[in-house]
């Protein structure tokens, strides 16, 4: 993780918390599924943890970490670092009326949201996209695969 997390700047205010403690809090949150405000007091304040989580999400740090883990796991299994074949699947789920946006999936008879997941042949997720259920699988698949081809040059359309 150290190669992905930037070192502290030499100027400016020093950090209040060690980044390792921030990471531990994020891993705790992911593992337990607790709410941000319910992070135990042994960890840094939830606002600081959330700040770094969002910062790393938007600057691409989490993507780089996921890619490094994915590459290591593939190589441990004796596979090439980049996948050459992928699978796609979708799932429609009912959502509450308070959901940000939702639509009606005529095939599943569900009013809610739909997610498309692309995974490699080992089952590791590469892309997950969530959108309204009324959007067709075909059109969404095209945009997802375009993104996939940008990230993984080794994947070819068959």
**Domain limits, the chain:** 19-75, 82-151
Helix (H, G, I), strand (E, B) or coil at 56: helix
Percent of the chain with pLDDT over 90: 23
101-116: pLDDT as tens digits: 656 555 656 667 778 8
Q: What is the pTM of this model?
A: 0.67
46-74: pLDDT as tens digits: 999 999 999 999 988 888 888 888 889 98
CA 9, chain centre distance (Å) = 28
20-38: pLDDT as tens digits: 899 899 999 999 999 999 9
Q: Specify the pLDDT at position 116.
A: 82
Q: How many CB atoms lie within 10 A of CB 116?
A: 20
Identify the bridge partners of residue 104 per DSSP, sorted by sequence position.
Answer: 111
């Amino acid at each position: 993780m150290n190669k992905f997390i930037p070192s502290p700047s030499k100027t400016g205010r020093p950090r209040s918390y060690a980044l390792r403690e921030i990471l531990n809090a994020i891993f705790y949150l992911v593992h337990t599924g607790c709410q941000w405000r319910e992070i135990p007091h042994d960890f840094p304040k939830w606002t600081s943890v959330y700040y770094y989580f969002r910062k790393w999400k938007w600057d691409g740090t989490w993507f780089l970490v996921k890619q490094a883990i994915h590459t290591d796991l593939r190589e441990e299994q004796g596979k090439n670092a980049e996948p050459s074949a992928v699978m796609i699947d979708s799932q429609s789920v009912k959502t509450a009326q308070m959901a940000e946006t939702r639509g009606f999936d005529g095939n599943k008879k569900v009013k809610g949201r739909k997610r498309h997941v692309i995974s490699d042949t080992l089952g590791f997720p590469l892309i997950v996209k969530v959108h309204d259920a009324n959007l067709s699988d075909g059109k969404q698949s095209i945009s997802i695969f375009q993104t996939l081809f940008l990230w993984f040059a080794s994947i070819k359309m068959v």
